[in-house]
């Protein structure tokens, strides 16, 4: 691992031909974790594909809220396919090596889709805020065009921010080791093993954390404080509960996305977190939300349940009709 098979562009700059992903090395019973990841992948791909399919073909779901949910499902689908197949390749073929360019591509897509998830949750929080605080003006403030423009802005912003962050890796020289102590081509473990100045990479990592974790979480919290104030103006508890239930799916998805991340950060700050424990917790934080999100929306959303029941009824009628013949 330390004997780099590299291309040297000058006496000081070394770019490795490959990186060695050592994240799951030495973890007991790791094969059972990979089996768990495999089922996570199947559920996430099927669940998000189902949500995308339902929103695409059901015209009643072509409204701002479901455009946001479609975007979230698309980001979940993308992140799952960017992350888990690479992990499964490591398990199935015992191959922990990844080429330099493939590593940068893996880094970009994992962080890009995760960033889109985070900012889409902010857009959906804004949608819920307007729906509850200004219900009579909802379709004037939040329509399909505005929601689509906001989500296009999310994708553009994430492309520029993550693209810049990943591109800056190419200025780093790796003359000591090519071992990445993570479960994928993680930005932090890669820039910290560089031999030359990595201050700009460290700054970009901090900027990404602030813009993609802390700012979205603060924005969502502020929006729900506004929602709580609006609920206080509703005279009956039944009315308050009915309004709050329209936010239940979004709140569960927000908790699924942010709580594992915050728990890992708090654990790392309060006591020494072993590398293997950090890697397992971080990988779960990335793998679980794309699997759980479609389940939350299908179970908690009447329109999705009605659509599924309609499809099941149509299939049953077709079967009965074919048997009758």
Region 49-65: mean pLDDT is 90
pLDDT at 8: 45
Kindly list the structural domains of the chain, giving each domain's residue range(s) and its CATH number in brackets, ordered by start: 14-324 (1.20.1070.10)
The set of residues, in sequence order, having a beta carbon less than 8 Å from that of 218 and lying 6+ positions away, is none
> Distance between CA 71 and CA 152 in Å, rounded?
10
Confidence band of 9 (pLDDT split at 50, 70, 90):
very low
- What are the pLDDT digits (tens) for 209-231? 999 999 999 999 999 999 999 88
Q: Could you count the other beta carbons within 10 Å of the beta carbon of residue 153?
A: 12
Across 4-8, 183-187, 271-275, least confident range: 4-8
- What are the pLDDT digits (tens) for 247-301? 888 999 999 999 888 887 777 667 666 777 778 888 888 889 999 999 998 887 7
Q: Which residues pair with 97 in a beta bridge?
A: 20
Q: Where are the beta strands (DSSP E) in the chain?
A: 6-8, 14-16, 18-21, 97-99, 179-180
The pLDDT > 90 percentage for the chain reads: 53
pLDDT at 6: 46
162, 108 Cβ separation under 8 angstroms: yes
Region 80-107: mean pLDDT is 87
Region 78-88: mean pLDDT is 91
């Amino acid at each position: 691992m330390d004997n780099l098979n590299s291309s040297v562009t000058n006496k000081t700059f070394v770019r490795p031909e490959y990186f060695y992903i050592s994240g799951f090395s030495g973890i007991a019973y790791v094969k059972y974790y990979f089996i768990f990841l495999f089922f996570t992948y199947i559920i996430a791909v099927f669940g998000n594909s189902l949500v995308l399919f339902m929103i695409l073909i059901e015209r009643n779901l072509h409204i701002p809220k479901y455009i946001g949910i479609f975007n979230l499902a698309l980001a979940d689908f993308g992140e799952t396919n960017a992350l888990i197949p690479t992990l499964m390749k490591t398990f199935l073929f015992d191959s922990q090596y990844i080429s330099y360019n493939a590593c940068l591509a893996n880094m970009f897509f994992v962080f890009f889709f995760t960033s889109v998830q985070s900012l889409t949750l902010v857009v959906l929080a804004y949608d819920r805020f307007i729906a509850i605080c200004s219900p009579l003006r909802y379709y004037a403030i939040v329509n399909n065009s505005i929601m689509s423009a906001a989500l296009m802005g999310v994708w553009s912003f994430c492309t520029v921010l993550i693209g810049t962050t990943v591109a800056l890796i190419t200025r780093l020289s790796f003359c000591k080791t090519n071992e990445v102590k993570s479960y994928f081509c993680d930005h932090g473990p890669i820039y910290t093993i560089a031999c030359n100045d990595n201050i700009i990479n460290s700054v970009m990592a901090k900027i990404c954390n602030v813009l993609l974790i802390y700012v979205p979480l603060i924005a969502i919290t502020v929006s729900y404080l506004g929602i709580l104030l609006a609920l206080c103006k509703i005279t009956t508890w039944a009315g308050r509960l009915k309004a709050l239930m329209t936010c239940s799916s979004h709140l569960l998805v927000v908790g699924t996305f942010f709580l594992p991340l915050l728990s890992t950060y708090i654990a790392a700050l309060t006591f020494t977190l072993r590398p293997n424990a950090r890697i397992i917790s971080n990988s779960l934080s990335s793998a679980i939300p794309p699997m759980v999100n479609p389940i939350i929306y299908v179970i908690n959303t009447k329109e999705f349940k009605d659509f599924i029941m309609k499809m099941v009824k149509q299939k049953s009628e077709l079967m009965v009709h074919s048997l009758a013949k």
